[in-house]
Structure 1
């Protein structure tokens, strides 16, 4: 995969991974935190609503307690009660009405019902009503609020259930405090608190926060729960609410469980949305305030934060990816340019250079590649020069190996000729030895014949003549041996010269092979072998020269001896006429001839042995020459290979 595609893929994966991480953080970290913050905020909201209501109710309770205290101290005169109680009731805030409810016959003798109750009129004034004292009205002493006050402690406010006033149709709640006079229960002081303001306050809070606030009294009756449904659920008990709207059953169940302060609901309590319930208890009134938070409101902050985070993060990622792609594409372009430059170097176009722009890492890389290209060009130029030198040396070595092969062939031919000449000399020496032995035998026979009789003298003379002839032939043969020995010496000189030249050539070849380095190692081995063989040839030629010198010396002595024999034979031939007279001298002479013939035979045998040795040496020289020729042929083959390699190297260096 190309780097550019990898960058695109990496950028996409980076964006995707960042979104996944951000989504995970929002869902696993931010959402729970903000949800808890929303719940905490709702708790605070419920507490504020509850404490505000509790504060208002506490003020009403305090005012009711004040009414009870005043009623306990006033003289039992209606005028005094009217004068002092009415201003207190009018001083209260949110008071729909209030009054004093005495026991029968306590305020007025023989009056079962003598209550003093002031009701707030439409113009905001309080009017003293006598409706509850009429004969046709029910006895107020039988009302639950009255009976509950009797059971309460002195000064304790007993709150009634919330109710809707039948006259004003306004939700109210009544605080009842019993009155003690003369340590006896005397009656009850009450204040009716108008709860209509709670509805408007909760509705304003709903509109401001988007939540649903409610008040639940001690009888589990919803005092107010505006806006949660189109129908009015105020002043309904929880059981009635559940019966009227089944979707609110989860809310009813949670509220009926008095220990529940926080509860979460699925879609239903709030239409088409999940919701959270938070409640706050008013201990003094045993009421509860509560807030129902729709999930949309609870998550509004999360959604807003998510939107801005995603927007900012995506913008940053896109900016980062854009910068990455811009610089990545620039990097890819520089890499492509660098690749093209390297390809041009491979093609031999060494005059092109990479353009260097800026001072970043890629610019440093371009400079390094240009420097490397220059260095490579210098190396190639050096290789070209060295290749030309190797080529010339290889050609010269090839010529030398060719000449060495030719000279080795000539040396082998000369050695063959030398071997043939020495073989002939050996044959001649063997023949001379046989002749000398024959002369010795004849001389012995002559001596025997002389000893046996005079008659043999003539034959002896003939034998002497024959001996003379044979001695002449022996002299000629030995002379030829001497001459052949001189020729062998000349041939040995040629062999020595050729060996020296071969040694020099091998030395030069070894020097050239050392220059050639690794490619000339095999050639160096062959050159060393040739030099060794040349040295051995020189040693063998020296030994042959020594033997030939000995042979020449022996031949010279043989020639002298034979010459003397000829002289003696001439003397014998000249004196053959006087043989009779000098018989004893002849016998002595024959004995001398016999002894000398024996010496000649021994010398001839030695000469034959020397000749055989020379023959063996010549054969060895021939074998060495053959080996030299084979090595020269191999050297020639190696030289050709080296020359071919040098030619190819030179051609490569020219590309």
Structure 2
């Protein structure tokens, strides 16, 4: 019995099964580690590719969309300006078609009623400016011009018919009106004189009689309403906005500022304002369509500026917004997308 036990003992205590079990565990752990490492590496690659793809393809499109939304909202000002000017153009068409049918005395009598527009304050005045000798033979200057006085009433102004005045038919606005397509306004650059406390422009439109050039009609429009449009739109889009001419002449004041900068040039004020300096730079590099550039504000933050034309006019619209604010919506979308991918 003792010998039998001695024979059995060695086979019972031989650790071969345990060794095989340990080898299997080591192999299993090695495979798991490989799978884990492969999975982690794959996920890291996916994350890197996702971030790269978002940065290269998605982010630029979202940013462009944000920029398009800003310029589209700012362009509402252009649309409102064009609406106002279209009304003036329609009024001028009536005058240019009616005047050739009237006698000289009837022109003097009826013109104030054609210009008045029920006392519309934006319409500062208007006139007809015949070529030499066509209204009255032997008389070179025979215009009829009315403008509003301080009370808003239309009064006659005969200055341009006086001997000491310049020949109105040699002025740029008169030549521009004569050469404009029939029924279309030639808009004069903004100006201001003693007759009006506000800057203004005018629509000059050709008058023809019996198929021949007869003269030009004008309707003077004050530009004070630009300030109202700019102030309202700045509040809406949280951006800086200014209306200017191609030569840099400023046509709208800075909302909330007491400084009178209308009719001054951006080159005069560029050193005082990063925004105006940005406009100056945009004008220097302006091509056709909308221009885009960035500039540093006085606080060191970046702003993005767009310069776009107001179609059918000699004017341009500048709009600038803090770049971080401009991109805030797209950044939120990108962050959400990145977290969903992770």
User: TM-score, normalised on structure 1?
Assistant: 0.39
Q: How many residue pairs are counted as aligned between the two chains?
A: 284
What is the deviation of 1:192? 0.8
State the shift of 1:245 in Å. Answer: 5.6
Whether the 8 Å CA contact 2:128–2:143 is kept in 1: the answer is: yes
SS of 1:71 mapped into structure 2:
helix
Give the one of 160, 174, 180 matched to 2:188.
160
Alignment map for 1:328-343 (pairs within 5 Å): none
Question: 1:241 & 1:204 partners in 2: Cα distance?
Answer: 23
The one of 55, 80, 83 equivalent to 2:109 is: 83
Match of 1:292 among 308, 320, 335: 320
Q: Give unpaired runs (5+ residues) of structure 1.
A: 1-19, 314-655
The corresponding residue for 1:123 is 151
- Structure-to-structure mapping, 1:117-516, within 5 angstroms: 117-224=145-252, 226-227=254-255, 231-242=259-270, 248-256=276-284, 257-259=286-288, 261-268=290-297, 272-295=300-323, 297-299=325-327, 301=329
State the Cα deviation string for residues 188-225 of structure 1 (Å, max 9, x = none).
10011111011122022223332111223354433225
Q: Deviations over 1:468-512 (max 9, x none)?
A: xxxxxxxxxxxxxxxxxxxxxxxxxxxxxxxxxxxxxxxxxxxxx
Quick check: 1:211–1:297 contact (8 Å CA) kept in 2? no
Q: Secondary structure of the equivalent of 2:316? A: strand
User: Contact between 1:206 and 1:213, CA under 8 Å: does it hold in 2?
Assistant: yes
Aligned to 2:24: none
SS at match of 1:123: coil
Are the equivalent residues in 1 in contact too, given 2:303–2:321 (CA < 8 A)?
yes
Rounded to whole Å, the distance in 2 between the matches of 1:35 and 1:164 is 41
What root-mean-square deviation, in Å, do the aligned CA atoms of Structure 1 and Structure 2 show? Answer: 3.5
Q: Do structure 1's residue 40 and structure 2's residue 68 form an aligned pair? A: yes
Contact 2:73 2:237 in 1 (8 A): no
Q: Distance in 2 between matches of 1:125 and 1:119?
A: 8
**Residues 279, 318 of structure 2: 8 Å contact kept:** no
Distance between the aligned counterparts of 2:308 and 2:154, measured in 1? 34
Change (3 A) 1:266 1:283: closer
Equivalent position of 2:131 in the other structure: 103
Change (3 A) 1:174 1:244: farther
* Structure ranking higher on relative contact order (CA contacts 8 Å, 6+ apart): 2
The CA distance in 2 between the partners of 1:285 and 1:247, in whole Å, is 23
**SS state at 1:222 partner:** coil
Aligned to 1:65: 93
Measured in 1, the distance between the counterparts of 2:66 and 2:261 equals 26
Distance in 2 of aligned mates of 1:202 and 1:247: 15
How far apart, in 1, do the equivalents of 2:327 and 2:187 lie? Answer: 38
- Distance in 2, Cα, partners of 1:251 & 1:161: 18
Tell me if structure 1 keeps the 8 A contact 2:129–2:216: yes
User: Secondary structure of the residue that 1:236 maps to in structure 2?
Assistant: coil
CA distance in 1, matches of 2:72, 2:261: 24
Deviation at 1:90, TM superposition (A): 1.0
Q: Residue 303 of structure 2 aligns to a residue in which SS?
A: strand
CA distance in 1: counterparts of 2:247 and 2:211, whole angstroms: 32
Contact 1:72–1:179 at 8 Å: present in 2 too? yes
Instruction: Please say if residues 124 and 221 of structure 2, whose CA atoms lie closer than 8 Å, have aligned partners that are also in contact.
Output: yes
Distance 1:64 1:129, change over 3 A: same
Contact 2:200 2:223 in 1 (8 A): yes
Q: For residues 291 and 273 of structure 1, what CA distance do their matches in structure 2 show?
A: 16
Shift of 1:299: 4.8
Mapped contact 2:186–2:205 kept (Cα < 8 A): yes
For structure 2, the residue ranges without an aligned partner over 5 or more in a row are 1-46
Q: Which has the higher strand share?
A: 2
Task: After superposition, give the CA deviation of every residue in 1:593-613 in whole Å (9 maximum; x if it has no partner).
Answer: xxxxxxxxxxxxxxxxxxxxx
Cα distance in 2 between the residues matched to 1:181 and 1:105: 14
Using the alignment, how far apart are the partners of 1:88 and 1:271 within structure 2?
52
Higher helix share: 1
